Amino acid sequence: MKVAGVLAFFIGVQAAPHYTFPKLVGTSDWSSVRQTANFQSNGPVTDVNSDAIRCYQRAGGAPDITKVNAGGQINWQVAPNIYHPGALSAYMAKVPSGQTAATWDGKGAVWFKVYQDMPSASGGQYNWPSNGKSQIAFTIPQCLANGDYLFRIEHVALHSASSTNGAQFYISCAQITVSGGSGSKTPSNLVSFPGAYKSSDPGLLINIYNNGGRTYQPAGPSVFTC
């Protein structure tokens, strides 16, 4: 095998375990999902204080906005699948008046968590329900006000999280318009990215293979419910 071929082989092996969230099911890649900086490398964000922790986007917004119904589901495609064990969460942020989901940067304490999974535990090891999934569905809260939102999916791989900054974040933001919402409840526990997490958070600095029988503590706020 030629040297170039050997290098290509090993690069491919190293990149294979990584993954992206490139689209909502029924759309094309990076159409209403903002193209992430890892769209070619599939590599993670590891610095929770970086602006990349927000949407990990390369530049501006995506060209399209996807319509979704409050109380309905939003379905994400994983490429190729969630390879590493770790916590899956989802956040939303309401786009302010005068902007659209395609133009807004999502800065500030505007994000509220709408989903957080929890692992089972066996023999001191955590096991997450998202592991190996190639599609992930979330429910849009029925009580939200109608309008444009950013929807942020986050999977934090924890296989190397026993050392500081070992947690690996795989992130994407979709641009959506919500209709059919009652607007009966205003989201609380708003956070900013960066700002929501510290590298020392117990859900990010952890040995998932020897947890001492402790219940997992997810990073970030509690889940907003209607």
Inside any domain, residue 85:
yes
> Residue 225 carries which DSSP code?
-
Q: Which domain holds residue 146?
A: 20-179
- Domain tally for the chain? 1
Q: Residue 74 is which amino acid?
A: I
- The CATH number for 54's domain is 2.70.50.70
Residue 186 belongs to some domain of the structure: no
DSSP E strand stretches across 82-184: 86-94, 111-116, 120-122, 125-127, 135-139, 147-157, 168-179
Does residue 30 fall inside a structural domain? yes
CA distance readout (Å), 149 to 47, 107, 109, 133, 187: 25, 13, 14, 25, 13
16 pLDDT exceeds 80?
no
Q: Is residue 161 part of a domain?
A: yes
Residue 172 covered by a domain: yes
How close are the terminal C-alpha atoms of the chain, in Å? 59
Does residue 192 sit within a domain? Answer: no
Q: What is the pLDDT of residues 141-168, one digit of tens each?
A: 999 999 999 999 999 999 999 999 999 9
Across the chain, mean pLDDT equals 92
Mean pLDDT of 35-48: 94
pLDDT tens per residue, range 175-214: 999 999 999 999 989 999 999 999 999 999 999 999 877 8
Does this model's pTM top 0.85? My answer is yes
Q: Looking at the domain assignment, is residue 14 inside a domain? A: no
pLDDT of residue 45: 96
Q: Identify whether 139 is part of a domain.
A: yes
Mapping DSSP to helix (H, G, I), strand (E, B) and coil, where does residue 198 land? coil
